[in-house]
């Protein structure tokens, strides 16, 4: 497999249509035995609204928790970034991205007000200063058109990005003192997570409770895998069948897996050693319309509706985050 050379970021002053095969949209499949979700009532976003619209968005895909009750979300095809609040029940555009950018998965570094954003089929990744709206750094992680930079997670050392068309991850270190992103490198995966049997493979990514082990969602395999961030070795989290798995969130031993085409989120309890998992709850909501990613805010999940069921690019009039209860009965 061709390895993309490590990239030096295109730096900016700190102050200062993807192919239709993206998800292989198919007819909606009814989930077996769903449990209806309702808004949560603990922590940030007490008594939140049922949904929060992204005003004037042309599309949507990614979302990340901010500070307190806030979140960040993106316009997939325009690349613009929104900031929303569960407490206020509103969102507004804060970054008007340059032409040609995309906004897929994203993650927020609160310490440095830094938002990492995956750039989809551009092969790029971006880091934005959420205070100023300026681009901090831009990376060409992989070749445009033959890659899909899908999602990102943050560890204490930096940002990890997935590529849905190749069995590799990309790491961008972030200076812990000043928040400056450094030189990117490629990690070739080994084992089952490295395989690319479908049109869309690696998807969501999150870091486990230990702060080091990565967990990746694999859409084609309907599975979750752990990845050793040093060696690239991967291992299946057994006992799970997660068709159309997309974005994932982790909190302790709980993993939330968004399953886009079947309009549900599975809450999974994983074993301490991350070798096994068990679905504890299926979260559904009548407002779900091809959800893709979710952000955990207190006891709530803010779940983005991508609405790919309307076409690709989608043609819906509005795009929103749907707010549901993250926890049910074990």
pLDDT tens-digit map of 233-248: 999 999 999 999 999 9
DSSP string covering 2-52, please? PPPPP---EE--S-----GGGT------PPSS-EE-----SSTTSS--SEE
Q: Kindly state whether residue 170 falls inside one of the protein's structural domains.
A: yes
User: Does the residue 127 lie in any domain?
Assistant: yes
Give how far the C-alpha of residue 225 lies from the chain's centroid of Cα atoms, to the nearest Å.
16
Compute mean pLDDT per 10 residues along the chain, 330 residues long, and list them: 39 37 36 37 74 98 98 98 98 98 98 98 98 98 98 98 98 97 98 98 97 97 98 98 98 98 98 98 98 98 98 97 87
Burial (Cβ within 10 Å: 0-12, 13-18, ≥19) of residue 113: middle
Cα–Cα distance between 326 and 96 in angstroms, integer?
A: 31
Domain span at 118? 60-187+253-267+284-325
User: Is 50 a member of any domain?
Assistant: no
Distance CA(265)–CA(170), nearest Å, equals 26
Tokens of 175: 């200076």
Distance between CA atoms of 312 and 200, rounded to whole angstroms?
15
DSSP one-letter code for 60: -
149-154 and 158-163 as β-strands: parallel, antiparallel, unpaired?
antiparallel
Residue 164 lies in a domain: yes
Distance CA(55)–CA(68), nearest Å, equals 21
**CA distances (Å), origin 144, targets 32, 42, 84, 101:** 39, 43, 30, 11
> Is residue 72 a part of any domain in this protein?
yes
Q: What does the alpha-carbon distance between residue 236 and residue 281 come to, in Å, rounded to a whole number?
A: 21
Residue 104 lies in a domain: yes
Tokens encoding 182: 């450094």
Which CATH number characterizes residue 71's domain? 2.120.10.30
The residues with which 250 forms a beta bridge, in sequence order, are 255
For residues 141 and 124, give the distance between their C-alpha atoms in angstroms, rounded to a whole number: 5
* pLDDT at res. 44: 73
Please state, in angstroms and rounded to a whole number, the distance separating the CA atoms of residues 71 and 65.
4
Tell me how far apart the alpha carbons of residues 145 and 166 are, in angstroms, rounded to a whole number: 12
Q: What is the pLDDT of residue 329?
A: 63
Whether 304 maps to a domain, the answer reads yes
Domain total of the chain: 1
Residue 25 lies in a domain: no
Closest by Cα among 252, 277, 280, 251 to 266: 280
**pTM for the full model?**
0.89
- At residue 158, the pLDDT reads 98
Query: In this structure, is the dihedral angle defined by the CA atoms of residues 85, 86, 90 and 91, taken in order, positive or negative?
Result: positive
- The whole-angstrom separation of Cα 181 and Cα 137 is 7
pLDDT at 196 (0 to 100): 98
């Amino acid at each position: 497999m061709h390895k993309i050379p490590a990239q030096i970021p295109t730096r900016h002053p700190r102050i200062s249509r993807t192919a239709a095969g993206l998800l292989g949209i198919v007819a909606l499949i009814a989930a077996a035995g769903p449990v209806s979700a309702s808004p949560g009532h603990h922590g940030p976003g007490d008594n939140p609204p049922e949904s929060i619209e992204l005003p004037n968005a042309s599309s949507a895909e990614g979302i990340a928790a901010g500070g307190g009750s806030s979140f960040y979300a993106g316009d997939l095809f325009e690349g613009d970034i929104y900031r929303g609040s569960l407490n206020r029940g509103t969102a507004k555009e804060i970054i008007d991205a340059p032409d040609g950018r995309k906004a897929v998965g994203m993650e927020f570094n609160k310490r440095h007000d830094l938002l990492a954003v995956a750039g989809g089929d551009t092969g790029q990744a971006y880091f934005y200063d959420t205070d100023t709206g300026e681009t901090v750094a831009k990376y060409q992680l992989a070749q445009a058109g033959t890659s899909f930079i899908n999602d990102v997670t943050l560890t204490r050392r930096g940002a990890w990005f997935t590529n849905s068309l190749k069995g590799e991850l990309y790491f961008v270190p972030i200076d812990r003192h000043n928040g400056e992103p450094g030189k990117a490198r490629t990690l070739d995966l080994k084992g089952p997570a490295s395989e690319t049997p479908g049109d869309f493979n690696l998807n969501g990514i999150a870091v486990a409770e230990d702060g080091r082990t990565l967990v990746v969602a694999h859409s084609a395999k309907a599975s979750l895998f752990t990845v050793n961030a040093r060696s690239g070795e991967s291992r299946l989290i057994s006992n799970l069948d997660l068709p159309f798995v997309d974005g994932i969130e982790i909190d302790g031993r709980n993993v939330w897996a968004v399953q886009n085409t079947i309009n549900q989120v599975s809450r999974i309890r994983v074993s301490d050693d991350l070798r096994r998992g068990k679905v504890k709850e299926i979260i559904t909501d009548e407002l779900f319309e091809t959800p893709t990613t979710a952000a955990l805010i207190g006891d709530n999940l803010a779940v983005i509706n991508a609405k790919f069921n309307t076409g690709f690019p989608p043609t819906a009039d509005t795009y929103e985050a749907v707010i549901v209860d993250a926890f049910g009965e074990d």
